[in-house]
Amino acid sequence: MNFEAKLRKTFSSDGEILDPDQFINKLTSARYAQALKRSQVISGYLALTVILFVGIFGFNELDQGAILMEGNYYYSTSTDFDQGEDTEYFNDLALYIIEQEEDIWMAFSFLDEVEYDNIINIMEEES
């Protein structure tokens, strides 16, 4: 007997048949299970993306305006107001001071005070 025939003989005894109906049932369940798993993985990824997005967005929002002074973070409370209107108001005030007092340094010191006033107050309260 040649080598090839001998090899084939190794497999000759096989020939069991599966029940097609049973196999189809198992196949259908396996397909559904796979589809379910796939949809779970997809929704998992979606949820993760949303959490990451909200996390990054939230962190950026909270992080805005934080000023580090003497190892502590201080947050400007001026974000409670409309930033645009606020700036315009202070600019007008500064112009008014320059026109009235004719002293530009006074206007600078006023703007400086406005910017750091809240922080200085907080620091004073803490000490």
Return the closest-CA partner of residue 95 out of 108, 85, 114. 108
| Stretch in the footprint of another protein (CB under 8 A) among 19-27, 41-49, 85-93, 116-124 | 19-27
Is residue 16 involved in binding another protein (CB under 8 A)? yes
Residue selected from 10, 71, 99, 127 as contacting another protein according to rule CB under 8 A: 10
Return the closest-CA partner of residue 94 out of 78, 77, 113, 80. 113
Shortest Cβ distance from residue 19 to another protein (Å)?
A: 9
**CA dist 109 → 10, 25, 26, 31, 76 (Å):** 98, 83, 81, 74, 18
Is residue 31 involved in binding another protein (CB under 8 A)? yes
Is residue 39 involved in binding another protein (CB under 8 A)? no
Three-state secondary-structure class, residue 73: strand
Site for another protein in 71-100 (CB under 8 A): none
Are the beta carbons of 90 and 82 closer than 8 angstroms? no
Question: Which residues of the shown chain bind another protein in the complex (CB under 8 A)?
Answer: 3-4, 6-11, 14-18, 20, 23-24, 26-27, 30-31, 34
